[in-house]
Amino acid sequence: MATPPKTPPSSSSASSGYSEGSIRVLKGLEPVKQRPGMYTRTDNPLHIIQEVLDNAADEALAGHGKKIKVTLHTDGSVSVEDDGRGIPFGLHPEEKAPVVELVYTRLHAGGKFDKGSGGAYSFSGGLHGVGVSVTNALSKRLEVATHREGSVARLAFSGGDVIEQLEVRKLEAGERKQGTTVRAWPDAKYFETAALPMGELTHLLRSKAVLMPGVSVTLVNEKTKETQQWLYKGGLSDYLMQTLNGDPVIPLFEGSGHADKNADNFAEGEGADWAVAFTEEGQPVRESYVNLIPTSAGGTHESGLRDGLFTAVKSFIELHSLLPKGVKLLPEDVFARASYVLSAKVLDPQFQGQIKERLNSRDAVRLVSSFVRPALELWLNQHVDYGRKLAELAIKAAQTRQRAGQKVEKRKGSGVAVLPGKLTDCESKDTSHNEVFLVEGDSAGGSAKMGRDKESQAILPLRGKVLNTWEVERDRLFANTEIHDISVAVGVDPHGPNDTPDMSGLRYGKICILSDADVDGSHIQVLLLTLFFRHFPKLIEAGHVYVAKPPLFRVDAPARGKKPASKVYALDEGELTATLDKLRKDGVREGAWSISRFKGLGEMSAEQLWETTLNPDTRRLMQVQLGRFDFTSTQGEITKLMGKGEAAARRELMELRADDVDIDV
């Protein structure tokens, strides 16, 4: 019997199993099913239901609906009904398929890309056009009924595919004239639990009613036979007073400001509504929304509110000479006792991630602040007694903070360690407010020193690659100058996971690793994270270690319509694509923009570095925490990556996961 010929040694592609056929292109809604966590929250199905609810709210926000009804059915499905315009069901001019089908089966198909007067929605939470198509992909069944123009159209899907084709019939007498009803059966296999968290759902529905005074929101639970309805005529202040913990020191400060058509920097209608209460005790209530989407992780609109409140209170205190000698007021002193509900309207919101928990649009800081500051200044000067009470509250917070900082300083002063000469320290001694940036390279260190906030930001430049300290004995650590300098600057000695180090000497509340956005920068980041995890684990445990994310690209966009020429920074290729898409939608001619790529931090001017990476209101800063593994498992993983005798384990890892990585060499 003849044996099959052996593969020649040179043909390694077959043996490694990686060839042209290994590359898989995910089509339609496959990417969502493969990686649901990229598109939605997978702990429960609430977020995919919220996507449908947001669409109904966007109709009301555009002035086309007054009622939203959510029903929890006994079979585990959820339906959302609105009286908006109804999704169009005619054929799409280019795609030659019913529009309603495209909305539910295609990623990046929606009516919310073209903002402004020409689009179907001036303001909306919808941004990426992936919302309800994600709901569809992760549902066992989804039914849509859309009423408009004297007809009703129905179709049904399963796992994102059409299973009942579009059926259109004329409306009968007595049937509602317009609106959309969507009923979804979430597929339990994509979620940790199939049950909806009732507390979160009712809070979400109530907040929609608050943000849209005059729109009624109803929740019907078929299992318990309960019906709840929310309709707020008084809007934000009503809601804040109902949820507030403790009595306000001064009456509520509420207001609203929106750009008109003559505004230079903002589109017509952009702006914010707010209600703010100051209390002496109790947990502050803080809720913010962008185009009715709840932003539970805050973002730049909240930074704008903080900036506006602080600037107004500070100028009132200066005008009336109320600040005692030696007291320095910081934004947090004014903001610490503030409870608020903030609802911002932003024409083209940029969110962090698909689930839109945090707003990233840099312009939102200026937008909100520019309306809040003058309104509060005017209000305080009209009610001087209330102004004095608020000033008292802020000054008291500043004095408490400074006293706490001084206590720590006395204990630290007895140490004999001399601070490293290359450390450019900050002026403040308040540990909770101070930050140190460990910066790769002297040139970047120079820009950082010039661009930083001298009051609270310190810079420690590092020369070259830091030592891999995974297998270095603790008593040999200080033989390395860089590591010695880091330890002395931070004010905490190296320790193990089971030690109880003296943290009273800690000099900075945030220790931020700042390296280039390239492979070398990532390497330095890994070496520093290894150092902190191995020899300063309590700093990570206490949440003091952060990684700063500088942008990789800058796009210089020409003036368009009302918008002046601007610089937009993009963190990575994905954000760059989104930025260019947005410019095209704004009508900018292809190629009229210019794209610069930062080779490293050293190329950035002090001003650019401040705006993108150092400014607390607009930077991206990620806290370092243990991920899905506990301490011991994380230790095992890092040993695999950083241990001297682990080359075989690393090779195996590379062979297994190489396809997941985009390397930019």
DSSP state of 402: H
Residue pair 340/286 in contact (Cβ under 8 Å)? The answer is yes
Question: By C-alpha distance, which of 49, 28, 64 is closest to 182?
Answer: 49
Catalytic residue of the set 332, 520, 603, 646: 520
Residue pair 340/240 in contact (Cβ under 8 Å)? The answer is yes
Taking the C-alpha atoms of residue 548 and residue 517, their distance in angstroms, rounded to an integer, is 10
Which residue has tokens 């906030």?
453
Residues paired with 564 in a beta bridge: none
Distance of CA 513 to the CA centre of its chain: 20
Question: By C-alpha distance, which of 571, 444, 429, 567 is closest to 512?
Answer: 444
Token pair in block for residue 241: 């007073």
Q: Which residues are annotated as a binding site for ATP?
A: 18, 55, 82, 126-132, 356
Taking the C-alpha atoms of residue 592 and residue 239, their distance in angstroms, rounded to an integer, is 47
Residue pair 68/208 in contact (Cβ under 8 Å)? The answer is yes
Reply yes or no on whether 348 is catalytic.
Answer: no
Taking the C-alpha atoms of residue 32 and residue 565, their distance in angstroms, rounded to an integer, is 36
Q: Which residues are annotated as a binding site?
A: 18, 55, 82, 126-132, 356
Reply yes or no on whether 516 is catalytic.
Answer: yes
Residues paired with 161 in a beta bridge: 158
Mark out the alpha helices in 419-572 (DSSP H runs): 442-451, 481-490, 519-535, 537-541
Alpha-carbon distance values, 301 to 283, 289, 306, 367, 550 (Å): 21, 9, 9, 8, 21
Catalytic residue of the set 363, 425, 516, 617: 516
Length of the chain, in residues? 665
Question: By C-alpha distance, which of 557, 599, 601 is closest to 576?
Answer: 557
Question: By C-alpha distance, which of 485, 491, 529, 495 is closest to 509?
Answer: 491
Reply yes or no on whether 617 is catalytic.
Answer: no
Four-point Cα dihedral 286, 289, 295, 301, nearest 10 = -80
DSSP state of 388: H
Question: By C-alpha distance, which of 559, 553, 571 is closest to 618?
Answer: 571
CB neighbours of 197 closer than 8 A, spacing ≥ 6? 44, 46
Reply yes or no on whether 518 is catalytic.
Answer: yes
Catalytic residue of the set 302, 425, 440, 617: 440
> Which residues does the annotation mark as catalytic?
440, 516, 518, 520
